[in-house]
Structure 1
């Protein structure tokens, strides 16, 4: 598990509209990379292109290359469903499947892919995934209750367990703590620190302190104005981005002068 991600001259379009332009970035395996920048600057669009999730919108497409350990996930012979197995996504708001139990939520990826598991295999996957998401001890006695009955922070950790159950190489997180209280946010941040031991983790966040706490590298995105494409302005070690940025716009953003 855990793979390097490289974007090469990547442009992301919605129909004729160029949403993100000219992205060149190399994202390290087994590390946490944070995407920061003002709203509308393309960071979430770029994140969604990393597992071809943006393609669910009509007319969405990319030009350029997106490499997972050197293999282009946009090659015509590559199945988007396979890509989304390799590159999992945790969304802004916790979204456990409401009609499924905690157990069924964890196993949902296998069910959707038509995989057949023995009872012992299922039990092992459920326990291992929930333990990896630091949720096992809280839910082990109620696995057959609805996942929607958990607290918001627990639901988000359940979604993380569901994501890692299918053993992806990369985990994408789109503002995973924005709907959570400070205690739940701390639990998710601690979990992100543990996940980087086995996964490549990429997180979009508007919380500067969170980016500084959880990531080893940070990418700052910006936009020149309404109707203009988002661009990657600066990418460096997180300490450098926050303490000694090379670009004036990066300094202005992380210091709170705009954004």
Structure 2
């Protein structure tokens, strides 16, 4: 199911303002890629272009290309809704639908895609997605209770279950552990390692130790100054980035000299 992502000379705009310039990189299937860098450097902006989520902001647009297995998701005639079915997203803060049960939270995206589900099929999809998110054993006896009644870490895994229930090829995560305690963070990190067996995973994190723990490759982004566009400084396998980066700028960031 997972796909290769090829980004070529990507420039991201909000109106006339260029927020990110000249990003080129290739993300391989069944890997975890971490985007790191200081606040405002464009890493979350780049992440949102991978499923065209940035387009919900009026005036936002891109130049360059983002290809999934060779298909440019910005080509004429490509439906952004179909792109978002193929590329799931988990946000910084868990956002289960408060009026829905645990089961219906998992099925929300499937139902939104206009799929008519029989009860047994719905039960099976919910169970498989919750198992995929390592949450099934904790909630299987209370699927009819509100998702908002779960702990913070459980809510985040519920949102991951909702994302994978529609069977995407790519899973994007924008700082998925920033609001969680250490134990919940560890559970999400273990889950990310499992998810790459089936999905291409891209994660934005401010936690460099987390990037070192969970990712196969790491991209370091930076910004020259206020009002300047963010840009990709270095992109390599994670061990190299954290032990022997090519760029002094990368070394300065990972050693804590700025950011």
Q: TM-score range by the shorter chain?
A: over 0.9
Q: Distance in 2 between matches of 1:70 and 1:12?
A: 20
Partner of 1:229: 229
Aligned-pair CA distance for 1:76: 1.6
Q: Distance in 2 between matches of 1:17 and 1:95?
A: 30
Aligned pairs (5 A) from 1:146-161? 146-161=146-161
Secondary structure, in 3 states, of the residue corresponding to 1:234?
Answer: strand
With the length of structure 1 as denominator, give the TM-score of the two structures: 0.99
CA RMSD of aligned residues (A): 0.5
Aligned-pair CA distance for 1:121: 0.8
Partner of 1:115: 115
Aligned-pair CA distance for 1:209: 0.4
Q: Which runs of 5+ in 1 are unaligned?
A: none
Partner of 2:249: 249
Aligned pairs (5 A) from 1:48-67? 48-67=48-67
Range 110-119 or range 197-206, more displaced: 110-119
Count of residues in Structure 1 that have an aligned counterpart in Structure 2: 259
- Residues 1:25 and 2:25 aligned together: yes
Aligned pairs (5 A) from 1:90-239? 90-239=90-239
Task: Please list every run of at least 4 consecutive aligned residues from structure 1 whose deviation after the TM superposition is greater than 2 angstroms.
Answer: none
Secondary structure, in 3 states, of the residue corresponding to 1:107?
Answer: helix
Partner of 1:13: 13
Secondary structure, in 3 states, of the residue corresponding to 1:186?
Answer: helix
Aligned-pair CA distance for 1:28: 0.8
Q: Distance in 2 between matches of 1:117 and 1:38?
A: 44
Secondary structure, in 3 states, of the residue corresponding to 2:258?
Answer: coil
Aligned-pair CA distance for 1:111: 1.5
Aligned-pair CA distance for 1:86: 0.4
